Amino acid sequence: MKPSFDIQLKQHTPMIHFQFDQPGAALRASDLKPRLDRFLGIDSKKTRYRLEVIPINEPKTVNNNEEFRNEPYFGNRGNPKKKFKIEYLNGVRLIINTPFQQEIGERIKASLNEFFALESFGTRNNKGYGCFYPESATQADFETALKSLHLAGKIGDIYYWDCDDKILFHSIALFNRWIKSGINIKPAYYKSILFCYADTEKGLIWDKRFVKEKFLTPPSLGSFGTKAEVWSNPPVKGKEYRFIRAMLGLSTDNAWSSKNYKNYARKLSMNESHLVVSCAPGLSEPSKQLEVERIPNPFMYKVFRGGSSNRVYVFALKSLTSAKDETKGKIFNIHPELLGKDFEFGFIDGNKKNTLNKIESLKTPDSLDYNDFLEYAEIQIKNSTPQSGSSIPKNYNGNSTTAGQKAEFIAQHLRKNLKKLEVQNG
């Protein structure tokens, strides 16, 4: 059977693969084809074509060493010898056979630039891992594809920064932390941009203070401790608490820090309509009864490697659920099903397991525009004050600097290099 076309894909970033230790582990056709069908609006039952992925040479496999530290992936904790990241330095071949519907082959070929600009593969693919792109395409081609996706309403506004390999994934991790929870790694200290946005732009107080006020005070803790963070000041007039952090993604395991209670486990678990904060000695895992599904991060990080420099792109993503029903897709201004929804917070008594000592309800915001939020984030990062001093390295050289110095170096790099990709309508 003669292929309709054969194209080589360049792997721009390593892929975290669940079968990393098996021969031939690579981009899987069984993962790629359903995504391509959805992207094109193809009914796989009515449209038949064959897709094959063939690795070129053996992959490079990266061990869990310094290269992994501070990167946005933690699945290998506790097993330092395990290998996770694989990279085909010579890329992979993508072969498409459409023997009975030749026009489908032409349609697929014309869409590949946009498809691979939108999709990444493997674990943590929304954090810059698993980026592939046609070998012959340039960075200008990649950005043209992103602009087309934006004009088609499939992604939100696009921001980017350039960096070298040494800080590539570190910069993604730090940017993501800065906009969501903030940075506090001395000497690098920057308030959460989400906190500032909620306060100044939405007139809201975020959930972190809500948890401390409702649960980390003496009446709530009882015999759990002798000291407490007392939040006696009432909320600012005209502002209300909202569970705004959920809008930037929420995993099944989130820690709520409290400097006065370092010896107590604090876990946040979500179960459809409610959240449970566990704060009891020895309780290190959420109850199986309270296992939940995560709220995905709305932002996508893509990487294009070109020569000596790399460009990282970030934008809010619209997820297509099916070719027939796009009304169920998540648009880039928010997760619609989470707007104005009540969540319940409660403490679990470690001795009584699933007994909730106290429950408090908190709503998510009624609205949140991710484009507006990223525009605000760009302004905040560019106007942030550098934590200057002799302890900040002029060059990032890996092991010779502390975590805080690395964080401050990257923060200063983002401050100088973060930009918006301009898109012209029409």
Residue 381 has pLDDT above 60, yes or no: yes
Greater confidence, 419 or 267?
419
**pLDDT value, residue 75:** 45
**pLDDT value, residue 183:** 93
Residue 197 has pLDDT above 70, yes or no: yes
Residue 379 has pLDDT above 90, yes or no: yes
Q: For 282, how many CA atoms within 13 A lie in the half-sphere containing its CB? A: 5
Sign of dihedral through CA atoms 176, 181, 185, 188? positive
**pLDDT value, residue 22:** 58
**pLDDT value, residue 278:** 42
Give the bridge partners for 185, in sequence order.
188
Greater confidence, 421 or 2?
421
Highest mean pLDDT among 158-162, 322-326, 396-400: 158-162
**pLDDT value, residue 220:** 43
pLDDT band, very low/low/confident/very high, at 124 (cuts 50, 70, 90) = confident
Residue 414 has pLDDT above 90, yes or no: yes
Residue 206 has pLDDT above 80, yes or no: yes
pLDDT band, very low/low/confident/very high, at 43 (cuts 50, 70, 90) = confident
**pLDDT value, residue 329:** 38
Q: How far is CA 120 from the centre of its chain?
A: 12
Report the chain's mean pLDDT, rounded to a whole number.
Answer: 74
Q: What's the rounded Cα separation, in Å, for the pair 130 and 53?
A: 14
pLDDT digits 0-9 by tens, 317-373: 874 332 333 333 333 444 566 677 777 666 554 444 555 556 777 888 888 889 999
Interval 134-152 mean pLDDT: 95
**pLDDT value, residue 416:** 95
Interval 402-410 mean pLDDT: 89
Tell me if the domain spanning 1-137 has CATH number 1.10.20. no
Interval 106-114 mean pLDDT: 93
pLDDT band, very low/low/confident/very high, at 24 (cuts 50, 70, 90) = low
Residues of the chain with CATH 3.30.70: 1-137
pLDDT digits 0-9 by tens, 164-178: 888 999 999 999 999
Q: How far is CA 205 from CA 37, 217, 245, 343, 358, in A?
A: 42, 18, 10, 16, 21
Q: What's the rounded Cα separation, in Å, for the pair 133 and 116?
A: 6
Q: How many other CB atoms are there within 10 angstroms of residue 365's CB atom? A: 19
Interval 137-145 mean pLDDT: 95
**pLDDT value, residue 18:** 59
Residue 374 has pLDDT above 50, yes or no: yes
pLDDT band, very low/low/confident/very high, at 222 (cuts 50, 70, 90) = very low
pLDDT digits 0-9 by tens, 59-105: 666 654 444 454 544 444 444 445 466 777 778 899 999 877 778 88
3-state secondary structure of 97: strand
Helices (H), 7-70: 29-40
Q: Which amino acid is at 36?
A: L
pLDDT digits 0-9 by tens, 252-297: 555 554 454 444 444 444 443 445 444 333 333 433 333 335 677 8
Residue of 333, 22, 306 whose CA lies nearest to 137: 306
